[in-house]
Amino acid sequence: MESNVVDLLRKNGIHQPGVIKVDTSFTKLPYPFIIQDGGTGKPLSYYLARNDTDQLKHIYHAIGEYYSKFADIANDWAGVWDVIPERKKYPLHPAEAMYQLEIEQGSGHKAYTTGAIPPEQYEKIKTVWHNNISLLKEKPVCLVHYSPFPWTIYISETECSYQVSKIAALGDIIWWDADIMAAHVLYPPFFTIDEELRRAFLDGYKKDINRKCVSLYCIMHRLCAWAGIYEEPDFDTNASWRQSCISDIKILMEDCI
């Protein structure tokens, strides 16, 4: 699938290192594999750790421009690819699937059963998500990088400019709502950015976002990040961020009611 992702990105003018070799024969190794050009750049997390606000404003503007190209690639159905972008793997809409897998079950249920969130808050989360699934299903569908994390976005820099040089987690390219991609960039897991950087991203993105939808997605993202499903690197701030992210949900809920 990843090679088809690279082909689609490059076809639409989205920078991504090329594929050197794909082998699905199982003759050289007991599994299929892909060899891709390593590309250049450092992960966004490197720049966030340096905390140079002027530099980060340029970087977030470049990230907005990069993901704006994703939002321009429309599709008539939402869902996970079945190897190729024209073929749908599962019949369920992603909003319904994530409600079942991460709100009712998975991360949300784990947060409830371990006492990280009280029963009444868990019920409110389920209710607000369930009541808005129809809204999420009505959103326009485009190409989405479902995992636009500070450790999967790579930045290259010259003396006076920045650009996204590549993204990782290519298996998480799907058809869905652009707001779920924007939500992760605007409110990244395991890092905190301020409004100035959010404005820089939106200035480069040049797309309208639905604040209610972004908040709904952020609730799910916070639960997933707390539960540890994003395979984040070992950042110094992981433990403290994981403790504080649950309290963010109360604020996010206010935008969804």
Q: Are 155 and 188 in contact (CB under 8 A)?
A: no
Q: Domains in the chain, start-ordered, CATH in brackets?
A: 2-254 (3.90.1200.10)
pLDDT for the residue numbered 216: 96
pLDDT of residue 4: 86
Residue 214 pLDDT? 96
CB neighbour list of residue 162: distance below 8 Å, 6 or more residues apart: 55, 58, 59, 62, 155, 156
pLDDT along the chain (257 residues), means of 10: 84 82 69 70 95 95 98 96 87 95 95 94 95 96 97 91 94 96 96 96 97 95 94 90 87 78
Q: Is 114 exposed, middle or buried (0-12, 13-18, 19+ CB in 10 A)?
A: exposed
Burial label, 206 (beta-carbon count in 10 A; 0-12, 13-18, 19+): exposed
Reported pTM:
0.92
pLDDT at 254: 80
